[in-house]
Amino acid sequence: MPEPTTTAAGVVTVATAAVSTSVLTAFGVPLGLRVDLLVAGFAGSLVAIILLNTVPGTGDTWPVLLRTTLRRMAVAFASSLTAGYLTPLAMLLAQVPESLLLGGAFAVGGGAQQVLMFVIRRLAGQPMAPATGEASP
């Protein structure tokens, strides 16, 4: 019996699978998050936690270690979400090519707090500080 698919069809299938990215859905609602960006952001947050000590330990008793572990898990989760949502926007603002998207997600995950503060300032604008010598109402 002959093979039902041809070589050209196989090549098209592999190429299509390589180009498509999976988008995360929760309860049937697409979240707009790409899984590859989340993983890259998570890896960046782990590097920041381990190498840059972004969530330092404060003691060595069991309750303190548990609290520090929970904080580190929350930071890793929040950093991956920040990387998932803000990396495409940050790459668009910086006019960086698509080929650097995962590296950008890694960097955003590693510095999520600073990146988030920068984006908020950039999009919302800096609040106007009162001039020196003027009284505030």
Predicted confidence (pLDDT) at residue 40 exceeds the cutoff of 90: yes
Predicted confidence (pLDDT) at residue 100 exceeds the cutoff of 70: yes
Token pair 């950039």: residue: 122
Stronger pLDDT, 74 or 17, i.e. the higher one:
74
The predicted model scores a pTM of: 0.70
Report pLDDT for 17.
45
Q: Output DSSP code: residue 95.
A: T
Report pLDDT for 129.
52
Average pLDDT of the residues of the chain: 81
In this structure, which long-range contacts are made by residues 86-89, counting pairs with CB atoms below 8 Å and at least 24 apart in sequence? Answer: 86/115, 86/116, 86/119, 87/37, 87/40, 87/41, 88/37, 89/119
User: 40 Cβ partners below 8 Å, 6+ apart?
Assistant: 83, 87, 102, 103, 105, 106, 109
Rounded to the nearest 10 degrees, the angle between the axes of helix 101-110 and helix 62-94 is 140
Measure the CA angle with vertex 104, ends 101 and 27; round to 5°: 70
